Amino acid sequence: MVTTAQKAPEHSLTITDNRTGKTIVVPIERNSIPATALKKLARKQDAQQGDKLEDEVEGGLRVYDPGFMNTAVVQSRITFIDGEKGILRHRGYPIEQLAEKSSFLETAYLLLYGELPTKSQYTLFSNEVLHHTFVHRDLQEIMGSFRHDAHPMAMLESAFAALGAYAPEANPSLVGQNIYTNARTSEASLQLMDKQIFRLLGKAITVAAMAYRMRMGRQFVKPPAGLSYTESFLYMMDHLNEGSSYRPHPTIVKALDTLFLLHADHEMNASCAAVLQVGSTLVDPYSAIAAGCAALYGPLHGGANEAVVRMLVSIGSVENVPAFIEKVKRKEAVLSGFGHRIYRSTDPRSTIIRKVAEDIFAITGRDPLLDTALALRDAALSDPYFKERRLYPNVDFFSGLIYRALGFPTDYFPILFALPRIAGWLAHWRQMMLSPQGVKIWRPRQVYVGEGERAYVPLKERKERKVERGAEPSVVNHPTSTRVFLARESKL
Ligand code: SDX
């Protein structure tokens, strides 16, 4: 409720619009203010004051925040991060305790349902998830149609978009836009929602393994029975001979399960925001998860673990670290695996991953790139350029070295980030669908800085003219065959 200045409560802001002298009092709740309160600071458009129609002054003030540097778009109970203190908690449980005592699937349950499961709850959940690992035969055709060198993330995001097509009964566009938001009151809707969550978590390991098998030129492996979630994933990745009693190495299963747990959720990161942006249109959850995969794919986000190893390989040796550091300071390169929008200290996950690396290297042998990584880390942590900008190792700095030691192809690394993050995305999607306030479509505003109104000019009256760079289509090169085709066609 906005009140006048004289009754300003303690937890509030008093804001005076110096253009009009109007004062409003905006309530502060949980150290935040409702952005819409600023819409009360409107005024009559006045050209004398330099106002333009496009500034929308009569609609009230807007908040301009490119990159979401300081904008909260949801209230959530799932994950808390304190970037200054390097704290990460899921439903109140510190990540260090979960990493030591929990498993990925149990943490997924915690993220989704809010509490650590009892034995019967966990049995139901894990059985349901592992019951849904099979995919439609036609999806195998789709996955099999990719080239062997297709980026695995391109396959993964395609797979989730396609998976939705095999569940028409779960598609709001086909059976009713409120089939998930009705879950607030309807048992049938709640079951439908949770069934899609079981399906997505279960099929995620299968499609991820299929992407790997495509890359390796191997047949797909049927989901096994009786193995744990991460064990089933590794089984489908590496099983070769029918009839062999192959089982993944227990230390590798445990290490990868811990890595999955560490990657399960991280509140409003770019890919989670993408899932909720898309989910807010009430589209099916498979499409929302596909959007999350697309966002995570980028080198600034989940693609960073791949970028770190490519960076370390390009540096080559410890001796070349100082030169690379100088290159970064000249802004000619990015120090992948460093920096974070929220953490202004070392990412607590990075510290745990560093320890997991030793467990793996004890089996696989130490990767010489680790020496380069440690030298790079130490050089950056002691350099004022990075200290001033509060750049520290993030979750991606060491994880790629582990995946490399485990023999995964470099471009497969983002899959190992996306796969567990599906649990976090689904937890936030479920929280959105069950929101007591209902779901409002996410529709950000803009500040228009373009042309004012102008009249259409018929083609014959338009004169050839030089335009600024980028303001006309680029002339692109064609391979000879296309050039010849275009030449032939132009004679038609
Ligand atoms: C993840 O959001 C999440 O929670 C993500 C994540 C999750 O679990 O979901 O934690 C996972 O994505 C971790 C981040 C992985 N990405 C990388 O490692 C890529 C390298 N990092 C940067 O691109 C960058 O640090 C970001 C993208 C992570 C954060 O970017 P910000 O918050 O927009 O910071 P910025 O670009 O404004 O940087 C501030 C300054 C700039 O210098 P100045 O213009 O002030 O001179 O720091 C510099 C930047 O140039 N800087 C870097 C740098 N990161 C920031 N310089 C060199 N190397 C870097 N890595």
Tokens of 457: 């000019």
Q: Which of 195, 192, 218 is nearest to 140 (CA)?
A: 218
Which band of pLDDT confidence, cut at 50, 70 and 90, is reported for residue 228?
Answer: very high
What structural domains does the chain harbor?
A: 12-63 (no CATH), 64-447 (1.10.580.10)
User: Catalytic: 149?
Assistant: no
Q: What is the pLDDT of residues 382-436, one digit of tens each?
A: 999 999 999 999 999 999 999 999 999 999 999 999 999 999 999 999 999 999 9
Nearest CA to ligand 1 atom 46: 389
Residue among 69, 301, 390 whose CB has most ligand 1 atoms within 8 A, to mutate? 301
Q: What is the pTM of this model?
A: 0.94
Residue 394 Cβ contacting ligand 1 at under 6 Å = yes
pLDDT digits (tens, 9 = 90+) for 152-203: 999 999 999 999 999 999 999 999 999 999 999 999 999 999 999 999 999 9
For this structure, is 428 an active site residue? no
pLDDT tops 60 at residue 1: no
Q: What is the pLDDT of residues 292-340, one digit of tens each?
A: 999 999 999 999 999 999 999 999 999 999 999 999 999 999 999 999 9
Candidates 257, 265, 367, 396; catalytic one: 396
Instruction: Specify the pLDDT at position 244.
Output: 79
Q: Which ligand 1 atom lies nearest to the CA of residue 263?
A: 8
